[in-house]
A = this chain, B = another copy of it.
Amino acid sequence: MSIKTELTSIAKKAQGACRSSLTLSSEVKDRALKDMALALLDRKAYILSANQKDLRAAKARGMSLALLDRLTLSEKRIQDMADSLNEIANLPDPVGEVINIWRRPNGLWINKVRVPIGVIAIIYESRPNVTSDCLGLCFKSGNSVILRGGSEAINSNLAIAGTLKGVLKRHKISEGMVNMITTTDRAAVKALLSLNNYIDLVMPRGGESLINQVMKLSRIPVIKHYKGICHVYVDGSADLKMAEDICYNAKVQRPGVCNAMESMLVHQQVASKFLPAMLKNFQDARVEIRGCPVTKKIVKGIKLARESDYRTEYLDLILSVRVVKDLKQAIEHINNYGSHHSDSIITDDYDNSLEFLRRVDSACVYVNASTRFTDGYQFGLGAEIGISTDKLHARGPMALEELTTYKYMVMGSGQVRS
């Protein structure tokens, strides 16, 4: 059987499973999710031994320590996965929510109702916990899922997905709702991305090259969780103590995540007052500074930023710094160099705060707060499947609601159009 035929058959089954599961009650789904959590813990030894197989192969191939760490499962990490599934079970079910209902003059009742999207494909890289997290969120929102993990994690992923699929079977829920692609052949991705008749959405989770490849090949709608080149702009009227705390938090608290600050912009009026102490703090925290010429004049001995620095997501203890003429230049810089993820202004000026909120073209725009809050939990949306840097369907933190679409249910009593 060719890969295309095999994947088509998986995708068709996934579509059928999703349709036949449309009337699953929230109670049944939540019970299954809680049993999935238990099953992960029950089969801990089995999952860890599958993970050991992946780790041995990865070490033999000379995988870097950082990647090995991402690939490694432990009792603690399996416990975290189980906790996530329980949390998802406890969130409200988005399916069936009436978004709006109204009556037309001719007596038609129009209901706009939240329904599952259908079949969601997720293409991701080494972290095996993604398997269980994505599966849980898609299942809770009534979608079938097709998972394609990295080849380096294939044994771990199969052990996790197999365990969770077993729970579906025990609950008499169609197993087609959960599908793990077993071949590690790279041609599988291309074949998968051509199945737009069966798959409704694809989400790549991984680095830039994976996302670009998916965008290029896909005939299925894609929602990207792309780079986070986040800015904090310290306005001329900022409370400089507050600015210092927020910038420090945005950069240092967890530099390896997409909502961390990568670029700091400072109004020229406060630059010489603000920068020396701020950059000293950063250097004490081992942050490497790459500054514009004006920054270098104010604080000696730092590296000069190249233009490419302003377009770089470091995900590390590195920060680019630029002194700007005014708010307008700051906004232009953010819109041109940023990734439309999360950006913050520190200001005491009312008009400037509004101008920034309106004109910065990003998913999340902040006044006087750290960009680190862009997160489904922090927003109070519950678990998240990622942060969309796209504008269509979902923007910013994507939680359960964003894994649904809607349909119009129209109730009549014989209406015809004249």
Contact = CB atoms under 8 A, between A and B. Distances in A.
A17 to B, nearest CB: 13
A210 interface: no
Interface residues of A, number: 67
B408 A396 contact: yes
B407 A370 contact: no
A15 to B, nearest CB: 9
A234 B368 CA distance: 60
Contacts of A362: 407
Interface in A356-386: 357-359, 361-370, 372-374, 378-380
Interface of A: 19, 22-23, 102, 104, 108, 110, 117-118, 196, 200-201, 215-216, 219, 221-223, 239, 242, 245-246, 248-250, 253, 335, 353, 357-359, 361-370, 372-374, 378-380, 390-393, 395-396, 405-418
Nearest to A391: B405
B104 A379 contact: yes
A370 B414 CA distance: 8
A234 B12 CA distance: 28
Contact of A415 (B353, B369, B411, B418): B369
Contact of A392 (B242, B359, B378, B393): B393
Given A239-B414, A369-B413, A396-B408, 16 more contacts: A23-B358, A102-B380, A104-B379, A104-B380, A108-B369, A110-B380, A117-B392, A221-B392, A253-B418, A353-B411, A361-B407, A366-B411, A368-B412, A369-B415, A373-B417, A392-B393
A19 B367 contact: no
A414 B369 contact: yes
A347 to B, nearest CB: 11
Contact of A369 (B245, B367, B412): B412
A358 B221 contact: no
Given A245-B416, A253-B417, A390-B221, A408 B363 contact: yes
